[in-house]
Amino acid sequence: MSGRFVLLGAPGAGKGTQAKRVCTRLGVEHLSTGDLLRHAVRTGSPAGKKAKGYMDAGKLVPDEVVFSVLFERLDDGLDGFLLDGFPRNRVQAEELDRRLDAAGTPLDAVVDIDVPDEHLLGRITGRRVCKVCGNVHHVEFMRPRVEGVCDVCGGELQQRSDDRAEVVGQRLAVYREQTAPLQAYYADRGLLATVDGDRDADAITDDLLAALGEHSTEGR
């Protein structure tokens, strides 16, 4: 199955977890701009050096930096992909459309994972990410078998700098101001579906697969 999809949702909505599940089932590439940017920071690339200060402060990374890391990956000629964490604003959405339309490969569908704001704070501040493999645990909902140790590879778990409580409020405020309006942008284009993200993870995955499967290239 192939297709070109976007997954929307506030920080803590579960986009990363669900994107990995969905991509495995659909056989499309998972493209997380957050992962791409964090890799750029770790490797000390020019884009990573520019991005680090913004990410540590919970601010959005400038569009030109995001474009440089993402479109380099899209230019690899992927058969199908799901974008997680991009676009984050109208300018990014329009640039994505321009590039994909020019290549004759427009988006097929956009799904928004909806979670009430009051449930997002605990989800974010409780996350712990493996320094080695990137696997995600949670201090309450997905505790590791050994405290501070990744279940998958045995690496050290850490709290991301942008998951600290003092940063999370800023991240949510930025999302509501700049990213939430994309729901209307994609609805106007007839691409948007919404999934209730405040439920069991398996139920969310099933609904996401149903929404994206309807618009896959093979489903036409």
What pTM does this model have?
0.76
pLDDT at residue number 35: 85
Predicted pLDDT at 78: 79
The predicted pLDDT at position 124 comes to 87
At 127, list the tokens.
């996350």
Question: Catalytic: 127?
Answer: yes
Catalytic residue among 15, 21, 38, 128: 15
Domain residues for the domain of 66 are 4-116+166-219
Residue 206 region by backbone torsions, left for phi larger than 0, else alpha for psi between -120 and 50, else beta:
alpha
Spatial strand order of the sheet with 136-138 comes to: 136-138, 127-130, 157-158
- Distance between CA 27 and CA 25 in Å, rounded? 6
- Number of domains within the chain: 1
Concerning whether 171 is annotated as a catalytic residue, the answer is: yes
Q: Which residues of the chain have a pLDDT value below 50?
A: 218-220
The residues pairing with 128 across neighbouring beta strands, listed in sequence order, are 137
Asked, for residue 39, whether it belongs to a domain, the answer is yes
Residue 131 domain-assigned (yes or no): no
> Per the domain annotation, does 53 fall within a domain?
yes
Residue 136: inside a domain, yes or no? no
Catalytic residue among 21, 38, 88, 128: 88
The pLDDT score that the predictor gives to residue 214 is 67
- Is residue 130 in some structural domain? no
Q: Are 137 and 128 in contact (CB under 8 A)?
A: yes
Q: What's the CATH code of the domain at 25? A: 3.40.50.300
The closest of 140, 139, 117, 141 to 128, measured between CA atoms, is: 139
**Residue 84 falls inside a structural domain:** yes
Taking the CB of residue 103, how many other CB atoms lie within 10 A of it?
11
Q: How far is CA 218 from the centre of its chain?
A: 24
| Spatial distance between the Cα atoms of 55 and 53, rounded to a whole number of angstroms | 6
Q: Identify the active-site residue in 21, 52, 127, 128.
A: 127
Residue 172 covered by a domain? yes
